Amino acid sequence: MCKCLLCHNRDATQTGSHIIPSFLMKRINSIDGCNERDHELGFSIGTSGVVESYFGRDVYEERRRVYTDDESRIEDRTNLDTMDNVFCSKCERLFSKYENKYSAIYQLHFDEALVENTKVTGAEAALFWYGVIWRISVTGQFEVRLNYLFEEKLRNAVMSEDVRDLDVYYALFHCKNYRKDNPTFALFDCEDNVAMLIVDEFMIVLFNGKEATQNNKVLWGMNFKCEVPKLNKGINPEKIGVFPLAVFKFVADNILRQLVSRIDFRGKFSAMHKNLFGTEMPEAIFQEVMEEISKSKLADMYTVQNYALALKRVLQAHPDKYPVRFTD
């Protein structure tokens, strides 16, 4: 058995470890907004354009069939929010200690432009976020990782539960009631010594060292350059900037647009068409393919199987242009 990724000493016997704490994720993907654990209906969007869906253990067959016709998904209990055998039970309890304390953050009112987190100490707040971002990075859950020195710095801080001499800084923002009328999501990205996590109504930007706060790093079209005295470091009470609804919506919409553009459906289908027929895919055919894709149930829509099936159906609908035969 592999060793725990945090302590490097004990066997990684823990199963069902949430990489992002469930008190955050259940606000994103609980079915019908019930905010209950094991009631997830989640979607993981890869840069390849493939979307994996997953259901919580308490979402039963009748409800699953509303979202999928894929029989393999009906009984599947895989939860992409959790991982098995990456941590030991002792380190899992360490994460849980800070998660349980920090979950009280939703009792804050967020009525001022800058809110002080009175529910935990500054060190507890920092250790909570460092633990979350370190887990996201070390497990590769979002297909990107911090550089090794940054990652190890966070691991050592979480292990020792000590942030006093740590030159890591972060800015934290919240948008009150954003999820009331808008979908929320989790997204992580990093480059060099800057990392960003958006989860539910929170956005955190993490800097490895003072120099990183001044390097004009751009992630998802946003420039991150901050004044060190205004950042959190785990010494003083955590400060949370309150995003106006319009600003957070602009940020979220911009990120989602960039994510869709990175997937590049047009380019992928055009390349496929060129490989098969030697020419670029006509725009009208591409639009028919996208329309055919959209006819599927939500959990089946953006899968490799559905892409292939949609393309096949469209080509079959134009035998004059595509005199080819398909096998089932």
Q: By the 8 A CB rule, do 217 and 192 touch? A: yes
271 and 252 belong to one structural domain: no
User: Do 190 and 137 belong to one domain?
Assistant: yes
The pLDDT, as a whole number, for residue 185 is 86
pLDDT at 90: 97
Q: For the purposes of burial, counting CB atoms within 10 Å of the CB of 72, is it exposed (0-12), middle (13-18) or buried (19 or more)?
A: exposed
Single residue among 256, 274, 308 that ends a domain in this structure = 256
Query: Of the candidates 226, 256, 286, which is a domain's last residue?
Result: 256
Q: What is the pLDDT of residue 174?
A: 94
Q: CB burial class (10 A; 0-12, 13-18, 19+) of residue 144? A: middle
Domain check: are 167 and 147 in the same one?
yes
**267 in the same domain as 236:** no
The answer to whether position 296 is within a domain reads yes
Counting beta carbons within 10 angstroms of the beta carbon of residue 226, is it exposed (0 to 12), middle (13 to 18) or buried (19 or more)? middle
Is residue 111 domain-shared with residue 244, that is, in the same domain? yes
149 domain-assigned: yes
On whether residue 193 sits in a domain, the answer given is yes
Residue 236 lies in a domain: yes
Question: Does residue 155 sit in the same domain as residue 301?
Answer: no
302 inside domain:
yes
Q: Are 126 and 183 found together in one domain? A: yes
Q: Is 108 exposed, middle or buried (0-12, 13-18, 19+ CB in 10 A)?
A: middle
Asked whether residue 175 falls in the same domain as residue 304, the answer is: no
Among 256, 281, 305, the domain-final residue is: 256
Examine the domain organization and report whether 242 and 309 are in the same domain: no
Tell me how many domains the chain contains: 2
In a domain, 11, yes or no: no
Tell me whether residue 312 is in a domain: yes
**Largest alpha-carbon pair distance within the chain?**
72
Q: What is the pLDDT along the chain (328 residues), one digit of tens a residue?
A: 799 999 999 999 999 899 999 899 888 766 665 566 666 666 666 656 566 766 666 666 777 777 777 777 767 667 777 899 999 999 999 999 999 999 999 999 888 888 999 999 999 999 999 999 999 999 998 889 999 999 999 999 999 999 999 999 999 999 998 988 887 888 899 989 999 999 999 999 999 998 888 777 667 766 666 666 679 999 999 999 988 899 888 888 888 777 777 778 888 888 888 988 889 899 999 999 999 998 988 778 878 888 888 998 999 899 888 877 666 5
**Which residue range is the domain that position 304 belongs to?**
263-316
Q: State whether 267 and 252 are in the same domain.
A: no
Residue 242 and residue 151 share a domain: yes
Return the pLDDT at 89. 97
Residues 149 and 277 in one domain: no
Secondary structure of 208-226 as H, E, C letters: ECHHHHHCCEEECCEEECC
CA distance 280 to 270: 5
Looking at the domain assignment, is residue 88 inside a domain? no
Q: What is the pLDDT of residue 117?
A: 95
